[in-house]
């Protein structure tokens, strides 16, 4: 039977178990601190929903269990025990002692941010587990709205009123160039200097629009020579001389996985920064463990950013 088709309640099962133990409506009502008519009605409804008779009513000598009632009693006790364990587990989760956190992260942020955050949090909260999703902004916001994600680490891009966003750090964009590029020795680089250069675009929703819009200040948006939705591929293409790109999260290493080198340069212009923060649904009340992790992200991401 599917959960949505249940026609009985845990309250009725509790009444059944207590009544089966004392074999008297009067004694059961006294033990449960309810009226005798209430318990009689509840058990009659339970029998009707099950389609079986649970008790034989003896006018002078109380009740006795039917064979079906005896068979149902053990199962009812087990179900009530499981329900109590579920409630205890939920209370423990709300106290932050244990539980699972569904964490989303912008795909471009995941490598430098997410592993360290999870590792450090689990070190002091051993009862917590994580289910992670690396995705672009649209999928992250969808996950927050439908409840599949508890929170997401992302940018302040195209947020709507149903999403609560806690800003953490401001991330100005920078240009990434091959190590031997003609602009690699410059102290800063102008957007105009890049107009005739091949552009390697980080091809993610919202991010691609944000980076392209930086060039509105010089009048012409670049046409990508190469595209990739993977930041590591973008860095690899740049390091291997295929063009420049624009990113905005600080990197500790200026070497790609294939051993090629690249350099990072700040812009001469005051380019519009994005804000990294924690996004959550306003419609979902966060559990205590989720609140604790969100607070942890605040201090840890600032530290990661400072040391980047």
What was the pLDDT predicted at 17? 92
CATH architecture of residue range(s) 99-170+275-306: 3-Layer(aba) Sandwich (3.40)
CA-wise closest residue to 201 among 239, 171, 172, 243: 243
Cα 286 to chain centroid distance, Å, stands at 10
Q: What angle do CA 30, 33, 34 make, to 5 degrees?
A: 95
Q: Which residue has the tokens 């006795």?
A: 64
Q: Please, where in the chain does CATH 1.10.10.10 lie? A: 3-94
What was the pLDDT predicted at 298? 86
What was the pLDDT predicted at 1? 40
What was the pLDDT predicted at 192? 93
Domain 173-267 matching CATH 3.40.50.300: the answer reads: no
What was the pLDDT predicted at 46? 92
Query: CA 11, CA 262: separation in Å to the nearest integer?
Result: 66
Q: Extract long-range pairs of 88-94: CB within 8 Å, 24+ residues apart.
A: 93/287, 93/288, 93/289, 94/287, 94/288, 94/289
Contact 269, 246 (CB under 8 A): no
Q: How far apart are the first and last CA of the chain?
A: 54
Q: What pTM was estimated for this model as a whole?
A: 0.64
Which residue numbers in the chain have pLDDT < 70? 1-5, 88-89, 91-98, 304-308
What was the pLDDT predicted at 271? 87
Q: Which residue has the tokens 């009985």?
A: 8
CA-wise closest residue to 201 among 216, 218, 182, 221: 221
Q: Please, where in the chain does CATH 3.40.190.10 lie? A: 99-170+275-306, 173-267
What was the pLDDT predicted at 81? 83
pLDDT in tens, 111-120: 888 998 999 9
Contact 247, 173 (CB under 8 A): yes
Structure tokens at 271: 């380019």
Cα 301 to chain centroid distance, Å, stands at 17
Q: Give the bridge partners for 135, in sequence order.
A: 106
Contact 80, 108 (CB under 8 A): no
- Render 218-234 in DSSP notation, one character per residue: GT-PPPEEEEES-HHHH
**How buried is 119 (Cβ within 10 angstroms: 0-12 exposed, 13-18 middle, 19+ buried)?**
exposed
Domain 3-94 matching CATH 1.10.10.10: the answer reads: yes
């Amino acid at each position: 039977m599917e959960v949505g088709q249940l026609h009985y309640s845990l309250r009725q099962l509790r009444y059944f178990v207590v009544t089966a133990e004392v074999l008297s409506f009067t004694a059961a009502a006294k033990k449960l601190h309810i009226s005798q008519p209430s318990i009689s009605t509840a058990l009659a409804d339970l029998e009707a929903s099950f389609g079986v008779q649970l008790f034989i009513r003896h006018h002078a000598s109380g009740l006795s269990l039917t064979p079906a009632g005896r068979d149902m009693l053990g199962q009812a006790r087990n179900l009530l025990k499981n329900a109590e364990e579920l409630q205890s587990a939920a209370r423990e989760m709300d106290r932050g002692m244990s539980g699972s956190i569904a964490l989303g992260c912008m795909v471009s942020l995941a490598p430098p941010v997410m592993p360290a955050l999870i590792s450090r949090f689990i070190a002091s909260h051993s009862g917590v587990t994580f289910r992670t999703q690396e995705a672009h902004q649209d999928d992250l916001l969808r996950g927050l709205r439908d409840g599949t994600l508890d929170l997401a680490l992302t940018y302040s891009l195209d947020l709507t009123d149903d999403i609560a966003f806690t800003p953490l750090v401001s991330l100005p964009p920078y240009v990434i160039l091959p190590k031997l590029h003609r602009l690699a020795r410059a102290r800063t680089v102008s957007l105009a200097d890049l107009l005739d250069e091949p552009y390697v675009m980080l091809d993610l929703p919202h991010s691609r629009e944000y980076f392209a819009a930086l060039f509105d200040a010089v009048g012409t948006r670049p046409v990508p020579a190469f595209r990739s939705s993977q930041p590591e591929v973008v860095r690899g293409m740049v390091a291997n001389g295929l063009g420049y790109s624009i990113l905005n999260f600080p990197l500790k290493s200026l070497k790609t996985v294939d051993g090629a080198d690249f350099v990072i340069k700040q812009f001469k212009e005051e380019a519009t920064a994005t804000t990294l923060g924690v996004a959550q649904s306003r419609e979902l009340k966060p559990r205590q463990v989720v609140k604790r992790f969100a607070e942890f992200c605040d201090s840890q991401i600032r530290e990661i950013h400072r040391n980047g």
